A and B are shown apart, each in its own frame.
Chain A
Amino acid sequence: MQHAVELEELGAEIVDASSFLERAEAELSLRIIGQRDVIRRIFIAMLVNGHILLEGVPGLAKTLIISTAAAAMNLKFQRIQFTPDMLPADLVGTMIYNPKDMEFYPRKGPVFANIILADEINRSPAKVQSALLEAMQERQVTIGSQTFPLQEPFMVLATQNPIEHEGTYLLPEAQVDRFMMKVIVDYPSYDEELEIMIRSATTATRAPVKAVVQPEDIFRARALIDRIYVDQRVQHYIVDLVVATRNPGLYGMTELQAMIEYGASPRASIFLLLAAKAHAFLHHRPYITPEDVKAIAYDTLRHRIRPGYEAEADNMKSDDIIRQILQNVQVP
């Protein structure tokens, strides 16, 4: 069987270019036990210029995963703890007056880094959230009258605590939609927890994380991901899935119609395709299959579907809706 020549060449290039991910994973596994899916999602978002909303109870090594990933990829990492008294200037920076030459100079804020951990983003007021989300979208920040582009690669990982909502400012749907994925960080398994305990219960200083990946590797990977082959059948499958979140009745899921208040936006189709491409890249493939789409469907769609009152009455979450959609939309 013959492949198109271009695809064969691309396949070989991808195998070569994606090897850095194994190196990074190996380095991360020295520090992080379990959470493999979260790590892979971070790679996926990094490879296609996306941002991630992480949700999980405290103590699940969210910060450790991100800081270690940044160090392994030789990227500048900044952790910003969002608080109710925070101002946009605390994030993006401000103009500082220099009395010597009697001029204002811009002082860049913590947003000027490659990987930003916006810890508990829902604790700060809307204007601070907006400032960060604008930086995410525009990839540039304006301080005073000067505009500064943000460094590439630039990725924001925002965390939300799902069990504490008092004194928080929930992210509006329009802003949540800007995150490529919403990843649920779950508890480790029994064996993983045992290993975490044994490895972490020490007073010894940890060995520094080695930078096994360079930003150039990421840029090269991005260029290859853009060339990944997407068949029309898969394109239609992605659109079918997204349309099914808005109008499940069209796909024979009439009972689901009342369960959904609103479905995924067109941004979901774009991010589904991008994330599926990155997923195929992680698996060293020059083409995407419906398996790639299904693999990232939950993370890409869960924050874009709002279950209706009936769904809430039935204790049905957006993940349950996505499961039904994936089970009912015919695969090409």
Chain B
Amino acid sequence: MADVTITIDGNKVTAPAGTLLIEVCKSIGTEVPAFCYYPGLSLQAACRMCLVEIEKMPKMQTACTVPISEGMVVHTTTDKVRQARKSTLEFLLGNHPLDCPVCDAGGECELQDMTFSYGAAESKFMEAKLHRDEQQWSPVVFFDRPRCILCYRCVRVCGEAMDVWALGVQNRGSASIIAPNEGDHLECEECGMCIDICPVGALTSGAYRYKTRPWEMKHVGTTCMHCGDGCKTTLGVRRHETGMQIVRGDNRDKSGINGDFLCIKGRYAFDVTHSDERLTQPLVRHEGRLTPATWEAALELVASTFKRIRDEHGGSAIGVIGSNRTTNEENYLLQKFARVVLGSNNIDHHRTADFPALAAALKNTQVRTAGMRDVFNAKTILLIGNNPTDQHPLLAWQIRNNVRLHKARLFVVNAQDIKLHRQATAFAQVPSGSEAFAAAFLAGNDSVGESVGGDARNALLAMRQALKGAEEAVVIFGSEIRGAQVKAAVNLASALNAKIACLGDYANSRGAADMGLYPDLLPGYAQTSSEIFTGHWGALPEQPGWNIEQMVNAARDGQLRALLCVGSNPVVRYNVDPFVLQKTFLVVNEMFMTETASLATVVLPAACAYEKSGTFTNTMGDLQVVKKAGDLAGTKPDFEIVIEIADRMGFDVRKLVSLGGGTRADMGQSRGAQTGEADRHAVWLEAQNLEPRMTPFDPAAVLDEIQRLVPGYGEASRLNVAAGNDEHTTALEAGQGSATSDPDLVVPSEDTLFTSGTLGRYSNTLHSVIESRRKVPADKKTPV
């Protein structure tokens, strides 16, 4: 819209006509306080905190609802405005309990801050305050009614932004209350957005309430360790007898690709880090039983056995299974360890999407990959397969809010009637397994029309018409499309001139793929003979190694003599017969005694992603930093474990982790940024946007190498990543890929909102939510 010029407190400001006055004030640094106004949500004008004087208007106006127009003269600092703010706060505090000393929000409460800045020191309200007891609405949501100031933020974020509509307002006037959808409890997605957005302590979180004070925590901005979307999450940590304990998860500064958003897993499922079932001591099988051992003894046993087997039977007698939840640096290091130290290409991981096939399909096309931000800004989104609401909550949020705020057109092709149907311009339900045919049909290939059936064919035909001339489109497909079929999705993206994205399931499944946890592919989807890597690493085993299934078969035949399994549970994921691994020297790095760990010869207690540094690449290819938040005595990061094994095998670790110049000092990367003098130095370095990078245990040294050698990673700005932002990588476009990889090895996690693979089983919060939702028929309920 055309620009108009208005005057705010004597200053001339030019902004597009129709911009909300409150936003214009914000843009020039004039604070207009408000509770109910929230960018991106509908306007409410309920709190009356943002009243300002506008000349020629008889009464004060709410700045949050007034669109600016030419010549408007606004005053925000007059006595009248000041008095209005004072009075509003006095009203709000009328029935607000002054239990700030114990309230969760105390110290970061907007009502406290506003009272401090604008409020009155006295109250004319003499009557007794109305007290109501705190209510528990769900395992994670508690409601303290008297604290509520009725700003409606929770109602709007739950309805408009989450499309859940689980909260409402009942009664009217002074009797108004926020009400949950099931009378006395909530039935919802348990995302906790209502708690996060509450300006006061009315909605509190089951995970955090009454645990600590906000100023007692140190806040660490890192990347969530659950699904493949890579939300930025801020972990509040506090000293604990076993190290540092994580007590809260939120997105404190609303930065990163997820902005306001976090789902239940990002917000609450950090509790796996202090689960009672965490392994904190290495275990070695002795006379058939796993018995505690020292790190030295366990590592020595692993190193000497690996060395003996390698020297006697060759590297191909050893296999390595990597993880979807370890950092890029760890994955890179792990496959380098397998190839360079063990001399084996037998390396694989639990695949949840067919990234190599996508890389191969992208060859010789103009199609580029989409980042998570693209989904929020695209004009057209085509979603084939998957159910993002359950499996990719952030992606669903981006899609939903793009449709709501930018009027994007969403087209959904799915075997199920998924929830995003509600935002869809058009929806086509196709038979399960025919997603790729649907993609081909949409791209103009009529011959596959029969494969999807008559009704679906008509829906797709209409969709094909509607997609014609689509601009700024993104095609997103799930793991339903894999192997050679991926080509169909790429062709469609090419026809639409669209960007493309493929959905994998865990925090770093894309990173595992990009970093070459494949028997036939090096980092960056390069062939095993790639000169990029042989030039730097020396000779590598040329023949592609065994994939997971082949490794299991080789173990059965006695050919696979040792297996290193890092943060993965193949016994469950690939349904491996436990007896097959009996003869194999099995080393498992794990947080918990999983089905795979219980078969191991040596179990090494691993630190989780919240307890180490590095980077993750989300399923869209966005590179983000992982920072150490928690700390659990007894565990080591997989990075360190691998280096120690290599060192004890007599390998020169400087060939694994190439250290640049600089001083030789541990800057706390291995111990966490909480302890000791050196760590304060690390804090200083970080503040200067420099990185401590000095020991062989330093992942940043490996990131250097990744950026030098892995195509598609070099362009990512280290400064930006270190500062906590996302950088889109393009390894899929740059790499060779492999169209021949076995599509059956792709095993989607089938996670819901409340599960997170093997890891999620150890989260009490996720458990309690699943339990609370279990529907028990009334007559089957056991009497209390």
Q: Does A pair with B?
A: no
